[in-house]
Structure 1
Amino acid sequence: MIFPIEGSSITGGDCPGQALAATRTSRKRHGYRALVSMLAAATLLTSCQSILDQSYQADLKPSTNPQIVDTVQKNDPRAAMGAREHPRILASYGGEYHDAKTERLVARITGALTAVSENPNQSYRITILNSPAINAFALPGGYLYVTRGLLALANDASEVAAVLSHEMAHVTANHGIERQKREEAEVIASRVVAEVLSSDLAGKQALARGKLRLAAFSRQQELQADVIGVRMLGEAGYDAYAAARFLDSMAAYARFSSVDPESDQSLDFLSSHPNAPQRVELARQHARAFGQEGTVGDKGRDYYLNGIDGLLYGDSPEEGYVRNETFLHAGLGIRFDVPEGFRIDNKAEAVLATGPDETAIRFDGVEGSDTQSLTNYLTSGWVAGLQPNTVRDITVNGLPAANAKASAERWDFDVTVIRMDKRIFRFLTAVPKGNSTLQATAETIRNSFRKITPQEAADLKPLRVRVVTAQQGDTITTLSARMMGTDRKLDLFRVLNALPTGASITPGQRLKIISD
C-alpha cells in the first residue's frame, strides 16, 4: 500500500470507470481467482488515482550510479530499449532498494559472473528492487533486476548467482530482442489489458499488473538460458547445482505463501519462469559436467549471510505493515483487522484479503474533498451494479462513512467508504451470490477500522532478516519461535532456511530468522 502523491485529487465525479463491471466480465471467464485478480486491478483506470497506486514522476531517469559499470554501453540500441523500460520497472516494484552492504554483495556476485560471460564486451547494471516479491529478470542492454524478496529467500551466493546467470544468459542470447519482435504478444497484451481494465496500455500500470512482456520467453529460450547459466555458474567457481536447489526453494515458498498450495503464484519468478520437474532435473544434468553434487564449487554461504543480515523483509514502511490478520499504516494513520482465517496480501495498488467460502476483500483509498457527501460519492458511477435503495450514511468509530450493496452476475458486494481528513478509504467485500456471511464479514472489517495512536505509530518497525548462530540446546522449534510477522513461524523458518521435514540443526550453524 503506497502513500498518495501530494496534490492528487480524485472525487467520485472524476472517476466514472466501471470497477465492478471489470470484475463481472472477468468472473464469467476465469472464476474466483479471476475475481481476486480483478479486485486487485479494480481502480487501475486512467482517470482514477488510488492512494494505494502511487504514480512515480514521469521524468524518472535510470540511476546514474550503477553498481557494475559507470554507464551502459553507449550507442547501443539494446541499451536504449532497456533504458526506456527501466523507469517503469522501478515504478512497478517500489523503486530501488538501497543498502551499501547488500549492494556490494550483489555486485560481487554479478562481477564474478561477468568475468565468464559469453560476451565479455557486454556490461551489466544490477538493480535491487524494493519489493518483497520473489523475482528476477533482465532487459536488453544489460539491465539486471533482483528483488530483495528473492535475496531473503536465498541461502548462499551461489543460489543468487544461479538466478543472475540465467538472466544474463537471456541478455547474451539476445532473447529480449527476439521477444520484442513478436508483435502477436503485444497484440495479446493490449487486448487483455483492454478487456480486463477497460483501459489502454497505460505505461507502468499495464506493466505492473500484466508483466506479459517479462513472461514471454519461449520454452526453448528458457532452456537455452538454463544451459548458458549453469555453465557460467560453474566456470565462475560457484556450486553448479545451486540452480536446481534454488528452484526447489522457490517452489517451496510458493506453496507456503499460497492459500491454495496448487494454485499459481502471480507476479513472481515462478510465474514467468517455468519450474517443471523435468527442468530442475535438466539443471542437475548440466551441473554434472563440473562434478558430483556436494563436491564442486563454492556456495559462498558465510559472506552471503553477512551481506543480507538486516535486509528489509516483507512490506516497506511506505506501504504499511501486515501483522498476521491486521493491516497498519503509520503514514496514513490507520489500521484494520480481517476475520480469523483470512490472508492479507499488501499489493502495490491495494490491500487484498482472501478467506473461506470464496470471500474476497479489497481496501484502497483516494484523495477527496472533506465536505463531499459520501452517499453522493458512492453513487457517482465508479461502482457498477450498485443498488441505490441500499445506500446509507453511517459512522465507523466516530468517522463519517457510507455503505451500500452491489451485485454482479454470481457475486454480491458490500461497499463501504470512510472519510478521514481529506482522504476517502474504501472497502469492497465480495462473496458468491446468496452467501449469508456477506453482512457479518463486511461489518467485522469496517468496524475494526480506526485511527492508530501516536504510540502505535511509533512502535511500528519494519521486519528484517536477522542472521543468528545456533547455540547449544537450540532446536528448529526454539529458533522458529523467535520469528515475527507470521502465525506460521515453523513453516516459514523451514522455507527460508531450506530445511526439509526431519532436518536438525547443530551448534554454530548460521540461520535466518525474521525479526524487527
Structure 2
Amino acid sequence: MRTAGRQETRPEAARGSGYRLRRSISLAFIAGISLFAAACASLNEPGEPKASASAELALEEMLTPAQRKEHERLVASYGGIYGDPKLQALIQSIVTRLVAASERPDQRYRVTILNSPAINAFALPNGSLYITRGLLALASDNSEIASVLAHEMAHVIANHAATREDQMKQAVLVSRVISDVVNDSDLGALALARSRISLASFSRGQELEADAIGVGISARAGFDPYGAERFLTVMGEQSSLKSTSIGQTSTPDNADFLASHPATPERISIVMANAREYASPDKPGERDRKQYLAALDGLVYGDDPKEGFIRGSRFFHPKLGFTFTAPQGFTLENTSQAVLGASSSGREALRLDAVRVTGDQSLGQYLSSGWIDGVEISSVESLVLNGFPAATAVARGEQWSFRMFAIRFGSDVYRLIFAARDLTPELDRQFRAAAETFRRVSIEEAENVKPLRLRIVTVGLTDTPEKLAARMDVPDRALDRFLIINGLARGAKLPYGEQVKIISE
C-alpha cells in the first residue's frame, strides 16, 4: 500500500461526483473478492547494482523514448526493479546462452527483475524481458528459469509480442478513460491492474508455438528441456494453493503468469513431447540447481515491509507507522492502491486506503459529503480510535452495505471500509472490533520488522519435509508451501546433504 497519488477531497467536489465514486468503491470491493491484484512493494535499495548498470546503459541504446516510457510504466506497476547483483548476473548469463542457441542470435535482450511477489513474466517486441521475484522464488534450478525466459523469447522471435504491446496500449487507454469518467484515480489504477493479464494473452496456437520454440532453445543451449514441464506443474500447484487459501476457485482473472499460461494436463503433455525430441528423461541435460539456489538465497519473499506487509490477518506498515487486524476469516492482499480483503465466503470484503481531507472539514462531514451513495446520515458518529480522531457511518446500496471509518492519522485520513451482502448486527460488531485494532506502531516494533526471505538450508540426517516446513514463517499450510517451492511431491524423501528452500525472516 502506497500513499502516492492521493487526491485532496473537497466537500463540493465530493457531492458532485457521489454516484460515480460510489461505483468505484463497489468495484474495488468486487475486485477484492474476485481479483487479488499483484501485491506491490518497493525495495528501494541504495544505488543501482553493478550487475545491472551495463544493462541500464544498453536499455538507453535499445529503446526509443516511447518504449522507455512504457518500460518505466511497467516497472512502476510491478513495484520497481529488484536489485540483487548475483541474481541479475545469473539471469543475464542464462539469457546470453539462450540467445546464442536461438533462431535469432542477433536479437538483443535485456532482463528486468521486478520487485513484486506476483508470479509473472512477459516480453515486449523490442526484446525487453521482465520476470518477477515471485516467479523466481518458485523455480528450483537454472533449467526451469531458462524454460520461462526461452518461452518469452519465443514470443519475440515469432512476433507474438507485438500483440502484447497493442494490448497494453489498450489497457492504458481504458484505465485513462475510466479515470476521466469516474474522477477516481484508484479505479483507473484498478482497471490497469486487472488488464495487466493482457500482457501475456495469446491464442492457444501461439502459446503452443512458443512452448515448442522455447523448449528447443533451452535444449540447444544445454539446459534440461524438461524444466518447462516441472515448472508448469509447480505453477499449477501454487495456483491451486492460492485459490484454496482465499476460498476461491481458479479464474482467468488472476493477474499472474498462469492466468495466460495455464498448466493444463494437455499442455504439460505437449511440453513433455517437445522435450523428448531433444533428450531422454534419463539424460535430460543441465539443471544447475546448486548454482541457482545459491543466487536465490536471501530473496525477499512475499510483501516487502517497506511498503507494508501482511502476516495472517494483520496488516503492518512500519514506514507509515500503523497496523490493523482484519476480522477472523479474512484473507488480505496488499496492492499499490489499497489493502484489500475478503472473507472465505466472498460475502464480506474490506478496503483500506488513504486520502487527503482538508482541515476545515470534519471527518463526519467527509463521510456524509457524497463520495459514496446511500450514507445513512443518522448513523454518522464521531469517535476516538486508540487516540486518533475518527468517524464512522453506514451506507446501504442495492447489493452491498458498508460500514465506513475515517481515521485521521498524521497528515492523512485512512478510510477503512467494510462491505457485506448482509450487514447483520453481529457482522457490524466484528467490523467495529477490527477498526479498533488500528493503532500506531512503536519505533521498536518498526525497527524489528523484517521481510520474509527464501533461505537455502542443507538437509540433515533426520530432516523430513514436515520438520523443515515447521521452521517456516508462514500463516498456514506450511508443508504444502514447502513442497511447492521445492518442487517436491507429497511423501517425498529428502536426500541427506540436499539443499532446499524454506521461508523465514
- How high is the TM-score relative to the length of structure 1? 0.86
| Contact 1:227–1:286 (CA under 8 A) maintained in structure 2 | yes
Match of 1:384 among 369, 373, 381: 373
CA distance in 1, matches of 2:359, 2:264: 53
1:467 aligned onto 2:456: yes
Aligned with 2:456: secondary structure? strand
- Provide, for residues 249-288 of structure 1, a one-character-per-residue CA deviation record: whole Å limited to 9, x for no partner: 1111111122235222621111122333211111111111
The CA deviation at 1:232 is: 0.5
CA distance in 1, matches of 2:200, 2:274: 24
The CA deviation at 1:141 is: 0.4
| Contact 1:91–1:204 (CA under 8 A) maintained in structure 2 | no
- Provide, for residues 100-125 of structure 1, a one-character-per-residue CA deviation record: whole Å limited to 9, x for no partner: 11111111211111111211111011
Aligned with 1:223: secondary structure? helix
The one-letter amino acid of 2:309's match is: Y
When residues 89 and 409 of structure 1 are mapped into structure 2, their CA distance, relative to the original with a 3 A threshold, is same
| Contact 1:72–1:141 (CA under 8 A) maintained in structure 2 | no
Moved more, 231-240 or 257-266: 257-266
When residues 187 and 155 of structure 1 are mapped into structure 2, their CA distance, relative to the original with a 3 A threshold, is closer
Aligned with 2:238: secondary structure? helix
When residues 370 and 312 of structure 1 are mapped into structure 2, their CA distance, relative to the original with a 3 A threshold, is farther
The equivalent of 2:174 in structure 1 is 190
1:341 aligned onto 2:343: no
When residues 188 and 221 of structure 1 are mapped into structure 2, their CA distance, relative to the original with a 3 A threshold, is farther
The CA deviation at 1:350 is: 1.0
Match of 2:123 among 135, 138, 141: 138
Count matched residues.
489
When residues 157 and 475 of structure 1 are mapped into structure 2, their CA distance, relative to the original with a 3 A threshold, is same
The CA deviation at 1:349 is: 1.3
Aligned with 2:320: secondary structure? coil
Q: Where do residues 229-248 of structure 1 align in structure 2 (5 Å cutoff)?
A: 229-248=214-233
CA distance in 2, matches of 1:285, 1:99: 35
The one-letter amino acid of 2:111's match is: I
The CA deviation at 1:68 is: 5.2
The equivalent of 1:226 in structure 2 is 211
The CA deviation at 1:382 is: 1.8
Aligned with 2:277: secondary structure? helix
When residues 373 and 85 of structure 1 are mapped into structure 2, their CA distance, relative to the original with a 3 A threshold, is same
The equivalent of 2:402 in structure 1 is 413
Match of 1:151 among 108, 127, 136: 136
CA distance in 1, matches of 2:98, 2:335: 33
Match of 1:266 among 237, 248, 254: 254
| Contact 1:68–1:124 (CA under 8 A) maintained in structure 2 | no
The equivalent of 1:331 in structure 2 is 319
Aligned with 1:299: secondary structure? coil
The CA deviation at 1:86 is: 0.4
- How high is the TM-score relative to the length of structure 2? 0.88
5+ long unaligned stretches in structure 2: 43-49
The one-letter amino acid of 1:154's match is: A
| Contact 2:363–2:406 (CA under 8 A) maintained in structure 1 | yes
5+ long unaligned stretches in structure 1: 42-51, 56-62
- Provide, for residues 72-107 of structure 1, a one-character-per-residue CA deviation record: whole Å limited to 9, x for no partner: 59688xx66643310110110011000111111111
When residues 294 and 344 of structure 1 are mapped into structure 2, their CA distance, relative to the original with a 3 A threshold, is farther
Match of 2:58 among 71, 83, 89: 71
| Contact 1:22–1:198 (CA under 8 A) maintained in structure 2 | yes
When residues 509 and 359 of structure 1 are mapped into structure 2, their CA distance, relative to the original with a 3 A threshold, is same
1:476 aligned onto 2:460: no
Match of 1:252 among 211, 214, 237: 237
Aligned with 1:313: secondary structure? coil
Match of 2:428 among 427, 436, 439: 439
CA distance in 2, matches of 1:187, 1:9: 22
Aligned with 1:395: secondary structure? strand
CA distance in 2, matches of 1:64, 1:84: 22
| Contact 1:67–1:126 (CA under 8 A) maintained in structure 2 | no
The CA deviation at 1:200 is: 9.8
When residues 197 and 413 of structure 1 are mapped into structure 2, their CA distance, relative to the original with a 3 A threshold, is farther
| Contact 1:325–1:338 (CA under 8 A) maintained in structure 2 | yes
The equivalent of 2:340 in structure 1 is 352
Match of 2:268 among 280, 285, 308: 280
- Provide, for residues 324-352 of structure 1, a one-character-per-residue CA deviation record: whole Å limited to 9, x for no partner: 12111111110111123221111121111
When residues 368 and 164 of structure 1 are mapped into structure 2, their CA distance, relative to the original with a 3 A threshold, is same
- Provide, for residues 219-272 of structure 1, a one-character-per-residue CA deviation record: whole Å limited to 9, x for no partner: 222111111111111111111011111111111111112223522262111112
| Contact 1:4–1:53 (CA under 8 A) maintained in structure 2 | no
- Provide, for residues 181-229 of structure 1, a one-character-per-residue CA deviation record: whole Å limited to 9, x for no partner: 689x939973997399836999976533321540432222211111111
The equivalent of 1:59 in structure 2 is none
- Provide, for residues 424-458 of structure 1, a one-character-per-residue CA deviation record: whole Å limited to 9, x for no partner: 11111111135444312211210111001111111
The equivalent of 1:168 in structure 2 is 153
The equivalent of 2:47 in structure 1 is none
CA distance in 1, matches of 2:41, 2:491: 44
| Contact 1:344–1:352 (CA under 8 A) maintained in structure 2 | yes
CA distance in 2, matches of 1:288, 1:73: 40
CA distance in 1, matches of 2:479, 2:208: 35
Give the superposed CA RMSD: 3.2
CA distance in 1, matches of 2:175, 2:355: 28
| Contact 1:88–1:203 (CA under 8 A) maintained in structure 2 | no
1:458 aligned onto 2:444: no
The equivalent of 1:20 in structure 2 is 22
The CA deviation at 1:38 is: 8.3
When residues 178 and 94 of structure 1 are mapped into structure 2, their CA distance, relative to the original with a 3 A threshold, is closer
| Contact 1:333–1:457 (CA under 8 A) maintained in structure 2 | yes
When residues 160 and 54 of structure 1 are mapped into structure 2, their CA distance, relative to the original with a 3 A threshold, is closer
Aligned with 1:290: secondary structure? coil
The one-letter amino acid of 1:257's match is: K
When residues 375 and 191 of structure 1 are mapped into structure 2, their CA distance, relative to the original with a 3 A threshold, is closer
